[in-house]
Homo-oligomer: A and B are copies of this chain.
């Protein structure tokens, strides 16, 4: 039996005998985003996990701050900060098993790092010495995808391939609210549902696509409601509640792993910083909105909860801070070193074997560089 045949077929029956179709009700998201912190659901949460989340959130925030600082020092070409969205970034990484795959969007450096990728290698793209800095196979993390939504079909294909091979691997793909408008989002979700591929789609609805607010991006009741049009469940979650995001993602991952098919998760969050260091957010939003969201800060929410429940004390806060500072210092130190650059590498990975044509061009560049060198050493051209 093929994968295709495993699930019931949706077919228009010859009227007048209309067959009742799948009931859409279970696919629809709840009216309210799921929350755990500050609700009764917290009782079931694993304290170890909560503490782990806390440490990672603090590290994540520190990472965002450090990377932003590095742009000011000219050490990074650009940095799209995920400050305010750390709960989503961290939970996405932590909800996966080692054998699973993460497909980050361009804003998700933090999720990549939380998954175990070297914090400096994760920044190669944004530093600009190469496109992708890490080995995607080392931690099963696809390259950060600059073209929006395009990495979603990759996640579906990979998950499908794993399933065909009999591996119980799940792929988690990340995207922003703006990215959901792209055709690739649609095609990926449809393929995933038709193939019942083990994929989880995480939409971080942070309110904006650069300057464009969600109201200009969609008229849907919520982005999670898009799920029903593909025949997969949609889930809404408070994206600043790390425990809630982790729970919803873990459920979706489990469901996918067990053959239950894909899930679409919308995490409602907010981008506290500008789009990137190059952006001027005051052009399109007011301070009041930002302040309201600062009050709903993911770290503060978790810290409050942990403190109230006696799971975190001053020493714990300090330890997390300390750990984050060490990470930041190491990162700073790494990033302050100039990357090793060899222009000859330009020609190395265009094809499996460098073509005669590229060998010619490599020779040209080598001659130029030698001439440059001679000039610098000798004095005249």
Residues on A facing B (Cβ under 8 Å):
4, 7, 9-12, 14-16, 18, 20-24, 27-28, 31-33, 35, 38, 181-187, 190, 193-194, 196, 205, 207, 213-222, 225-232, 238, 240-241, 261, 268-270, 289, 292-293, 295-296
Contact = CB atoms under 8 A, between A and B. Distances in A.
Contact of A293 (B14, B20, B214, B296): B14
Contacts of A32: 18, 20
A16 B31 contact: no
Q: Which 9 A-B pairs have the closest CB atoms?
A: A183-B183, A186-B186, A219-B231, A226-B229, A9-B215, A14-B292, A193-B219, A229-B229, A220-B231
B230 A227 contact: no
Contact of A219 (B15, B194, B268, B292): B194
Contact of A10 (B184, B219, B241): B219
A11 B221 contact: no
A249 B305 CA distance: 54
Contact of A38 (B16, B230, B289): B16
Contacts of A241: 15
Given A12-B268, A219-B194, A238-B15, A228 B228 contact: yes
B216 A221 contact: no
Given A35-B15, A186-B183, A268-B15, A193 B218 contact: yes
B196 A219 contact: yes
A286 to B, nearest CB: 13
A214 B7 contact: no
Contacts of A296: 14-16
18 contacts: A9-B214, A10-B214, A10-B222, A11-B214, A12-B207, A12-B268, A12-B270, A14-B289, A14-B295, A15-B35, A18-B33, A24-B221, A181-B190, A182-B183, A183-B186, A183-B187, A194-B216, A194-B219
A18 B18 CA distance: 40
A31 B20 contact: yes
Contact of A231 (B7, B9, B218, B268): B218
A221 B14 contact: no
Contacts of A269: 12
Contacts of A10: 214-215, 218-222
Given A18-B32, A183-B182, A11 B213 contact: yes
A21 B31 contact: yes
Contacts of A289: 14
B9 A213 contact: yes
Contacts of A186: 181, 183, 185-187
A225 B187 CA distance: 16
A225 B14 contact: no
A196 to B, nearest CB: 7
Nearest to A32: B18
B207 A194 contact: no
Contact of A193 (B23, B183, B220): B220
Contacts of A23: 221
Given A186-B183, A186-B186, A230 B240 contact: no
Contacts of A194: 216-219
B228 A221 contact: yes
B205 A190 contact: no
Given A10-B220, A10-B221, A183-B184, 9 more contacts: A10-B218, A12-B269, A15-B240, A15-B268, A20-B32, A21-B31, A23-B221, A194-B216, A220-B231
